[in-house]
Structure 1
Amino acid sequence: MNRDEMDRIVNEHFGYEAADDVDGVLASLTDDVRHHVVGSPWGELSGKDAVRPLYEALFGDLKGEGVKPVARWYGDNFVVDEALWTGRIENGRFFGLEGKSGHVTFRLLHVFELRDGLISRENVWSDIAAIAEQVSQ
Structure 2
Amino acid sequence: MASTLTREEIIKRNIEAVDQHFHNENAEGIDLAVGVYTDDIIWEVPARGLVHRDRETVKAEYLKIFDSMKVHKITNLHRFATEDWVFDDSIFDFTVTGDGFHNCPFPAGTRVSVRLVHAFELRDGKICRENGYEIWRRAEDTHLVRDDIPADAVVQEFE
Determine if the alignment matches structure 1 residue 30 to structure 2 residue 52: no
Structure 1 residues 101, 92: CA separation in 2 closer, same or farther (over 3 Å shift)? farther
For normalisation by structure 1, the TM-score amounts to 0.80
Q: How many angstroms apart in 2 are the aligned matches of 1:49 and 1:92?
A: 19
Q: What residue is the counterpart of 1:45 in the other structure?
A: 52
Tell me which structure has the larger Cα radius of gyration.
2
Q: How many angstroms apart in 2 are the aligned matches of 1:100 and 1:132?
A: 14
Contiguous gaps of at least 5 residues in structure 1: none
Query: Superposition RMSD on alpha carbons, in Å?
Result: 2.3
Q: Cα offset for 1:113?
A: 0.7
CA contact (8 A) 1:16 1:22 kept: yes
Q: What amino acid does structure 1 have at the position aligned with 2:18?
A: V
Q: Cα offset for 1:93?
A: 4.9
Deviations 1:92-113 (A, max 9, x none): 5533336332333221100001
Match of 1:76, SS state, is coil
**Aligned residues, how many?**
131
Match of residue 111, structure 1, among 119, 143, 154: 119
Q: More helix by proportion, 1 or 2?
A: 1
Contiguous gaps of at least 5 residues in structure 2: 1-8, 142-159
Q: Cα offset for 1:73?
A: 3.0
Match of 1:2, SS state, is helix
* % identity of equivalent residues: 25
For normalisation by structure 2, the TM-score amounts to 0.70
Match of 1:39, SS state, is helix
Q: What amino acid does structure 1 have at the position aligned with 2:104?
A: G
Structure 1 residues 92, 132: CA separation in 2 closer, same or farther (over 3 Å shift)? farther
